[in-house]
A and B are shown apart, each in its own frame.
Chain A
Amino acid sequence: MPGKLKVKIVAGRHLPVMDRASDLTDAFVEVKFGNTTFKTDVYPKSLNPQWNSEWFKFEVDDEDLQDEPLQITVLDHDTYSANDAIGKVYIDIDPLLYSEAATVISGWFPIYDTIHGIRGEINVVVKVDLFNDLNRFRQSSCGVKFFCTTSIPKCYRAVIIHGFVEELVVNEDPEYQWIDRIRTPRASNEARQRLISLMSGELQRKIGLKVLEMRGNAVVGYLQCFDLEGESGLVVRAIGTACTLDKLSSPAAFLPACNSPSKEMKESPLVHPPSHGCRSTHNSPIHTATGSRLTQNFSVSVPTLIYTGMGSGSAGKEGGPFKALLRQQTQSALEQREFPFFTLTAFPPGFLVHVGGVVSARSVKLLDRIHNPDEPETRDAWWAEIRQEIKSHAKALGCHAVVGYSESTSICEEVCILSASGTAAVLNPRFLQDGTVEGCLEQRLEENLPAGCGFCHIPYDELNMPFPAHLTYCYNCRKQKVPDVLFTTIDLPTDATVIGKGCLIQARLCRLKKKAQAEANATAISNLLPFMEYEVHTQLMNKLKLKGMNALFGLRIQITVGENMLMGLASATGVYLAALPTPGGIQIAGKTPNDGSYEQHISHMQKKINDTIAKNKELYEINPPEISEEIIGSPIPEPRQRSRLLRSQSESSDEVTELDLSHGKKDAFVLEIDDTDAMEDVHSLLTDVPPPSGFYSCNTEIMPGINNWTSEIQMFTSVRVIRLSSLNLTNHALNKNFNDLCENLLKSLYFKLRSMIPCCLCHVNFTVSLPEDELIQVTVTAVAITFDKNQALQTTKAHVEKSLQRASTDNEELLQFPLELCSDSLPSHPFPPAKAVTVEKTSPMGEGNFRNRSAAPCANSTVGVVKMTPLSFIPGAKITKYLGIINMFFIRETTSLREEGGVSGFLHAFIAEVFAMVRAHVAALGGNAVVSYIMKQCVFMENPNKNQAQCLINVSGDAVVFARESELEVVSTQQPAANCQPACTGGEVTT
């Protein structure tokens, strides 16, 4: 009997009136765990009952503890008829199962009903007594910590990063069971919520077991998703990165394995000044791959693109042999793994050696009923196939690992598109095994890797490249080759040298497709996909050039399938990497050169484009220092040479052959205007309006070039659905509608948040879905963070002028430690070590926040403030404790849509309720924020004729406790600094 769960029901408040006669309620509570149920007494005639129950005790297996949610039902007692349910609370008790997280769950929880929404609150206390029982055959994995955060959590350091863990479980969807025809919508919704809660518990436990097998103790970058496959079932799948984490304030926190790389980084040969001067060629590198059919299920594997920038040339002198050695070592470390994938997007210093480019794979599947839920082999096989493809793409780029890895699906009826993408990379093997590989390699590594540009250097062998490409010598160190454009799915590395600011870049695309059934449909979709990928890539490239930038981070391409169309939406954050060459311009070429007025029009457009580029350079402060050719002294293509990129012509049949062409060899980045469509495309390039002044936006964690965040943050979700008029459904009109939808949405956000200026929208996450034939739904979640403008100017200026020595370390400091390995935090310690203070004081953030502290929420509110953010950190604060993962799934349904304010009113209220329930759970765990918050699903269906609507929302994040930096300083100064001299050095080294 390894665990005892104890629950106490304290009180209720704001209950709804259940008895119209008395305007009161006779409430009681059922507490259910597994198959055991307890009841409280009826508290008669009150809307604010005080049950003050005894402790209800459940004696359960820890396996059940992990799988089952605690289910609390509030009911209205009725002597003559059946008791009416007021609502329920599901509490995931997982956070109580590992020692370092929460010890008690206690607080007010909103009572939720799937039909009526939140109906009052209930105060509950939950505790778990765990009996350790380590020697038995484990089915449970209590004690494995889960983090949604895609970097090493702040109060931990990574001892070993083991690698990829994945699992999926399937079941029948209760909504589609025969019984659903005879039960109420409420019963059906609750069955679904409960099932998904159970399944995610089971999934988490299974993943935990895998982690224990790998001898890890945590999963970082845990991403769990639901596939609502309709008739064919319900799939819950998760991926993550298994790690062995060490609590930071423990004595072992400053082992050499942790701080040596960064230390040496700091002392390593310094970065050369960012220098530029010549334009280089650009290629559109496309790597195709084909998959095979699965035996049992129809499937089409789609030719896949690898996005990367590349060039040609000979190897750097020292680079060659070293690279080989490194590769060898890494390879051995990674070879044991089936899939050397990492869901992390930010890494400990020194972890990421080189980045190859984006690798992605998609496959179109036909869903069929899952016959045996215990054997989810088909789905497993599907994903295994895709992962294999990703792995081989990475190999083709000379990389042995994939970082920033993620998987997603898009389902429409029986067709499902599975997608996976990540960034091919070469990693430092030291973190991948038990810290034994040190010494010579490491030494060499440090010598050869100048901070700030190392990751840009190509990982593949120049002499044996998988595709034709152009390379130049790194503009930073001059020693190694770099591509001219770099696309990645990860966050900007902290040590990267960036010029100016970054910006959100989106490519948007729609393609009509004929309605079709089964295989014909799947084939049609898979035929369209490569073109979509290609066009998305072209758009991204054009927009990047238009911004005068040369690299994309956080690239996420989402392809959504609908009945009669496909939508592609790519978001990324463009930056100017100092190590990469200055991007060339865009040149427009007309098809009919004899027509005078046309010619004029073309030149007018050209001028507009050139103006836009110039304006953007100014806007984003991209002014790389000019450097003359001689200094560069390396074989770089002629300055005025341009690379060519052909627009893909949407309906033309020679498209396929173009795909295999590598346009890179041609010498200009030319947009050929050969038809009206093309003209429109150029126009649409120019219609993307920049955010109003004082606003920046990015989809990465932090905005390159902004470093003095103040503590004011505002997380939000915005949803828009548009109905297309069926008359004008052409690709072109569709594109325009979609483009307008996204642009208008962004404009609205800027307008709404104007009071926060100067501010930056971070982690802007767009999700597109096609709920019905003519409906497009776009959901955006992001966080707006204010920053101190004056300080921003100073620091950027200082940053540019700063000596090279400081460049890398400085950057890290300014970026506010979001990504560091050994961050400083202190929960298990009664007193925070003085180290935190030292670090804080050296950071410009410290002062900035101190000054802005008045903006902090007032403390006298009766309800504690819980911050929510999609980022892994809270500006101006330190995360002192991780309390566990929040993973919640809600269904809301209404049969009185008009009365609830129509679809907008309904969804607005529901999302507000979801936020409230997340906040309540975090507060009950003792936390004051959710970081790495993500709304993974928001499925909205309406039937206005029946006055009905239904919505499913799935959210997750990490519950944390944070403390304002200024508060920390106060505490720390009271503490004599004597307690950790070694810690101080450690801290400085790591930041």
Chain B
Amino acid sequence: MTSELDIFVGNTTLIDEDVYRLWLDGYSVGDAVALRVRSGILEQTGATAAVLQSDTMDHYRTFHMLERLLHAPPKLLHQLIYQIPPSRQALLIERYYAFDEAFVREVLGKKLSKGTKKDLDDISTKTGITLKSCRRQFDNFKRVFKVVEEMRGSLVDNVQQHFLLSDRLARDYAAIVFFANNRFETGKKKLQYLSFGDFAFCAELMIQNWTLGAVGEAPTDPDSQVDDMDMDLDKEFLQDLKELKVLVADKDLLDLHKSLVCTALRGKLGVFSEMEANFKNLSRGLVNVATKLTHNKDVRDLFVDLVEKFVEPCRSDHWPLSDVRLFLNQYSASVHSLDGFRHQALWDRYMGTLRGCLLRLYHD
């Protein structure tokens, strides 16, 4: 006796959260059944393995049918075929678009192209995440990227509107899209200590302050030709950053800056002497990062540079985080007292974001 056909269709579509997770994790029906057996479900319910097999198959079939709709979540809400309570719909979507930390760290900042997809095999081997799951996550990134790529307005809002994700997840996707678009390097060995959360935090700050959308003129004039997206860094701003060069190029200005910072921090910093000794190097590092951002290559290496030029020197001198904060605050603020320096607003726009990023990046 073999079962040719075995289906269960409810007027309300049954969603089993545990099976959904197994499906999302890319397990085959057989593996999923084995895992469910191990969870002790047979003992709890008195069911047989055959029942479990049939149940798992059925859920997998349902998920497979729903997957098409999950690719465009608003469709899931408006479709008539599967009656699913709104809370369940939200759960389906949220879980479908959730991703693994290990996976996202592998692809963050990479071009979401087919070429990268071939690397999924390696990622799967490296991270222990099933290839199927890797593929789903990668396709999700790519899909979200494609949809919001050409859109105006807030990146987070766009993601949220078109994929109905929670605020948290939408922000994460905004970061992923932003990183993929600007191709920030995150895979270097030096950067391995950073988590996705660190990068997402930086991305958010950069989107808020360094993109065209950040300027905030766009919504008032939707027909304007201005490229008002959150995706790209504000080219004009990057160009202007060259003006900051004077802070390190002009020796007087640099000395003045240093003395202002040193005066203010004397006695307040545990690592004062190290700071004093390193000030010029650090300042040069930070300002040079700014002035180089007109080149795409240097934009990509932004995080590498920040870690090399600032995080690592401080860390080798064992600066505590509180000292880093004090220093960066004072370092940014003191520029306002430099009479010869005319680009205060530009400096704030740059340094405000950079300070936030550096503080987040500064850990072990």
Contacts and interface: CB of A to CB of B under 8 A. Distances in A.
B1 A724 contact: yes
B78 A721 contact: no
Contacts, number: 140
Interface stretch (A287-295, A455-463, A671-679, A901-909): A901-909
A886 to B, nearest CB: 14
Contacts of B61: 901, 904-905, 908
A403 B231 CA distance: 73
Contacts of A912: 9, 13, 65, 81-82
B7 A719 contact: yes
Contacts of B3: 720-722
For A692, A749, A752, A916, which residue has the most chain B Cβ atoms within 10 angstroms? Answer: A752
B321 to A, nearest CB: 44
A751 interface: yes
Given A110-B81, A723-B1, A716 B46 contact: no
A913 B9 CA distance: 10
Nearest to B78: A862
Contacts of B345: none
A447 B12 CA distance: 49
A329 interface: no
Interface string A1-32: 00000000000011000000000000000000
B7 to A, nearest CB: 4
A861 B9 contact: no
B59 to A, nearest CB: 9
B55 A909 contact: no
Interface residues of A, number: 57
Interface in B42-64: 45-48, 50-52, 54-55, 57-58, 61-62, 64
Nearest to B8: A718
B11 interface: yes
Interface in B339-361: none
Given A722-B4, A901-B64, A857 B82 contact: no
A863 B77 contact: yes
A744 B51 contact: yes
A139 to B, nearest CB: 37
Contacts of A901: 61, 64-65
B77 A118 contact: no
Interface in B118-155: none
A725 B3 CA distance: 11
A990 B343 CA distance: 88
A858 to B, nearest CB: 5
Interface string A719-737: 1111111000000000001
B14 A719 contact: no
B174 to A, nearest CB: 25
Interface string B73-84: 001011111110
A42 interface: no
A740 interface: yes
Contact of A718 (B9, B50, B86): B9
Contacts of B11: 714-716, 867-868, 915, 919
A866 B83 CA distance: 8
A920 interface: yes
B10 interface: yes
A725 B1 CA distance: 6
A13 to B, nearest CB: 7
A721 B4 contact: yes
Given A748-B51, A748-B54, A714 B7 contact: no
Contacts of B9: 716-718, 908, 911-912, 915
B364 interface: no
A751 B55 contact: yes
Contacts of B113: none
B1 A722 contact: yes
A720 B80 contact: no
Given A718-B7, A919-B80, A740 B1 contact: yes
Given A863-B77, A940-B5, 16 more contacts: A714-B11, A722-B2, A723-B2, A725-B1, A744-B51, A747-B48, A754-B45, A777-B5, A861-B85, A861-B86, A905-B64, A908-B61, A908-B65, A909-B65, A912-B13, A919-B11
22 contacts: A13-B78, A14-B78, A108-B80, A692-B46, A716-B9, A720-B7, A721-B3, A721-B5, A722-B2, A740-B1, A744-B50, A748-B55, A857-B85, A858-B87, A863-B78, A863-B79, A868-B11, A903-B4, A908-B65, A912-B9, A912-B81, A919-B83
Interface of A: 13-14, 108, 110, 118, 121, 692, 714-725, 737, 740-741, 744, 747-752, 754, 775, 777, 857-858, 860-863, 865-868, 901, 903-905, 907-909, 911-913, 915-916, 919-920, 940
The 3 closest A-B CB pairs, nearest first, are: A721-B5, A716-B10, A721-B4
